[in-house]
Amino acid sequence: MLSNRQKLILKAIVEEYVNTAEPVASFDLMAKPYLNFSSATLRAEMATLEQLGLIEKPHTSSGRVPTSNGYKYYVENLVTRDSEVVSDFPLIDQIFQQHTMMKEEAIKEAMNLLSKLTNYTSMALGADYRGELVKKMDFIPVNEKEAVILIVTNQGHVSNQMIKIPNGLKADDLKNVVKVLDEVLRNKPITDVEQILSDEFARLQVKDLMEYHDQLLNTFVNAFSKFYKDNYYLSGMSNVFGQPEFNDVNKLKKFMEAFEEGEVMRLIGNTNGLTVRIGSENKILAMDDCTIISVPYRIDDEKVGTIAVIGPTRMEYKKVIPLVEYIAGNMTKLYKK
């Protein structure tokens, strides 16, 4: 059990190190107005915190830095939500007010904003779409040679596929095919779409479309297959390049590979409210110097997604936590509309 003085000192060390990325010495702490203690007292308390495994002394400095256990104690017992973060909430509100019908777009913009506000990597992991129903399928000409196939589910998720209109095929002919498919697929499960498309194209094999049968079928299947792919959105990956913890090229490479191989995505899915995984808690060597802060958002009574911020253990916890919680709350409200 830490004394109140030790708690104050640990809190100061964590927040000073977060701000400067430099080991914290006793004279740095003496500059804090709320640490009105002598240098000898501060050094003695720091020695105790070091014995408890909450801070440690790097080989190249006389100062101290927090350990993973120190960060964990800070998050669980000492962190306070930064009141200044509230000034960013209207920016978040604006995104969700503008995209009430286009949920995917709202999530992407929110993740982009989150990565900009925190200067870390942000991620939104959605639920499995396979239980959803097709609500609408549309054909939107872009020009004489290109068009977009647009698909919307009953949960407001959107998939789109840019296609090139084959030479010899009129846009109106393709539009009519999409119109028929829209009627046939409406309220059908996403899981049944590929078989329905195959059956329907067999029926639509009229003379004018025979030449394009396989090409068109593959185009529509690809548009729907996006619902089966890894359902996540990632923003701010390049932010890690500016963090001193990733000056080591090999460490940065391993970090990037952890994303590419899907290891990070398997860490952030949860339904337990705010979760903070620090250092070795991530159980991936490449994430040993990283923290993942995640919060679930509810899609419906059964489905839950997750948003997360990934950065160094030297993270601005008091800023990141309220931002992630606020965005998750807005995403839950978005799915209730």
Share of the chain above pLDDT 70, in %: 91
Q: pLDDT, tens digit, for every residue of 287-325?
A: 888 999 999 988 777 678 889 999 999 999 999 999 999
Taking the C-alpha atoms of residue 221 and residue 32, their distance in angstroms, rounded to an integer, is 62
Asked if the model's pLDDT at residue 216 lies above 60, the reply is yes
Taking the C-alpha atoms of residue 312 and residue 166, their distance in angstroms, rounded to an integer, is 49
Scanning 53-192, the segments in alpha helix (DSSP H) are 68-73, 89-98, 103-118, 171-185
Residue 66 — very low, low, confident or very high, per pLDDT cuts 50/70/90? very high
Burial tier of 86 (Cβ tally within 10 Å: 0-12, 13-18, 19+):
exposed
Residue with tokens 């104050």: 8
Burial tier of 220 (Cβ tally within 10 Å: 0-12, 13-18, 19+):
buried
Q: pLDDT, tens digit, for every residue of 71-87?
A: 999 999 999 988 889 99
Give me the residues paired with residue 136 across strands: 152
* Whole-number pLDDT of residue 207: 46
Host H or E run for residue 126: none
Q: Domains in the chain, ordered, with CATH?
A: 4-78 (1.10.10.10), 83-127+231-336 (3.30.450.40), 130-225 (3.30.390.60)
Query: Using the 8-state DSSP alphabet, how is residue 261 labeled?
Result: T
Say which range, 128-132, 157-161, 317-321, has the weakest mean pLDDT. Answer: 128-132
Q: pLDDT, tens digit, for every residue of 34-53?
A: 898 999 999 999 999 999 99
Task: Decide if 163 contacts 148 (C-beta within 8 A).
Answer: yes
Taking the C-alpha atoms of residue 260 and residue 115, their distance in angstroms, rounded to an integer, is 19
Averaged pLDDT, 188-204: 77
pTM over 0.85: no
Which of 315, 310, 317 is CA-nearest to residue 111? 310
Mean pLDDT score of the chain: 85
Taking the C-alpha atoms of residue 212 and residue 195, their distance in angstroms, rounded to an integer, is 18
Taking the C-alpha atoms of residue 300 and residue 226, their distance in angstroms, rounded to an integer, is 21
Extract the runs of DSSP E, i.e. beta strands, from the chain: 55-56, 65-66, 121-125, 134-141, 146-153, 158-164, 232-235, 275-278, 290-298, 304-312
Say which range, 83-97, 151-165, 193-207, has the weakest mean pLDDT. Answer: 193-207
